[in-house]
């Protein structure tokens, strides 16, 4: 049986008393179902790895615990919507988990997915809606054709950086200073964060 990660022992020891039996139970079932599973800590939480991929993880909070599969949708099926955190929602006792046989069957399913190299589909990236350029920034750009040409040549993300910088100003004076600075930088062909661009 692979050695257990002492960091997870310490994590369970630090958890609230109600969460300790939940975490211990889940950990035991994962090891019983997949004897060669590896333990680690990822994102500050106990995580189980198998066949080169993340299998599942658990966490403890002040008032609840959670346990979930990395490939949640594939393991739980189309009807397995996430209910809060993890794959089983907020856990306050072992009874909030499925029966041992059911949970072990789900763990076995997750194990097989990893062993067959099945990957989860990447979530489609949602395009950000175009950001309207503030009228006062547009007016300032029209007054300086070189700055206007630079702004039009920028990628949408660079135009957004300038527009958001102007819109984030709380005071009118700050906004006007930012517009003047933006026009000066764009006259020189500089993006908003030019100081951080490696040249």
| Each residue's pLDDT tens digit, 158-182 | 898 999 999 999 999 999 999 999 9
Distance (Å, whole) CA 132 – CA 154: 15
| Each residue's pLDDT tens digit, 65-94 | 999 999 999 999 855 455 556 899 999 999
Question: Where in 23-146 does DSSP place strands (E)?
Answer: 38-42, 45-50, 53-60, 65-69
Residue 60 φ/ψ, nearest 5 degrees = -125, 140
Q: In what order do the strands lie in the sheet with 45-50?
A: 38-42, 45-50, 53-60, 65-69
Per the DSSP assignment, residues forming a β-bridge with 50 are 53
Checking 43-49 for CB contacts under 8 A at 24+ apart, the result is: 45/11, 46/5, 46/7, 46/8, 46/11, 46/12
Per-chain mean pLDDT for the chain: 89
| Mean pLDDT calculated for residue range 13-31 | 97
Highest mean pLDDT among 55-69, 71-85, 118-132: 55-69
Residue that has been written with the tokens 């709380």 in this structure: 170
Is residue 107 within 8 Å of 29, Cβ to Cβ? Answer: yes
Q: Supply 112's token pair.
A: 């097989």
Location of each CATH 3.90.1150.200 domain in the chain: 6-115
Answer positive or negative: Cα dihedral of 184, 190, 193, 195.
negative
| Residue 97 pLDDT | 96
Q: Supply 163's token pair.
A: 């527009």
| Residue 1 pLDDT | 46
DSSP structural state of residue 94: G
Architecture of domain 6-115: Alpha-Beta Complex (3.90)
């Amino acid at each position: 049986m692979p050695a257990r990660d002492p960091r997870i022992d310490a994590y369970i020891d630090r958890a609230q008393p109600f969460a300790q039996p939940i975490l211990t139970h889940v950990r035991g079932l994962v090891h019983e179902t997949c004897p060669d599973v590896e333990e680690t800590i990822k994102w500050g939480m106990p995580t189980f790895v198998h066949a080169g991929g993340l299998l599942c993880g658990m966490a403890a909070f002040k008032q609840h615990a959670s346990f979930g599969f990395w490939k949640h949708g594939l393991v739980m099926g189309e009807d397995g919507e996430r209910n809060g955190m993890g794959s089983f929602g907020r856990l306050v006792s072992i009874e909030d988990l499925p029966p041992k046989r059911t949970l072990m069957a789900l763990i076995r399913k997750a194990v097989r997915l990893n062993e067959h190299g099945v990957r989860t589909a990447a979530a489609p990236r949602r395009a950000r809606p175009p950001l309207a350029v503030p009228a006062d920034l547009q007016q300032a750009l029209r007054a300086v054709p070189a700055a206007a040409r630079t702004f039009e040549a920028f990628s949408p993300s660079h135009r957004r950086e300038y527009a958001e910088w102007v819109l984030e100003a709380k005071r009118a004076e700050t906004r006007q200073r930012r517009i003047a600075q933006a026009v000066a930088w764009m006259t020189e062909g500089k993006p908003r964060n030019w100081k951080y661009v490696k040249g």
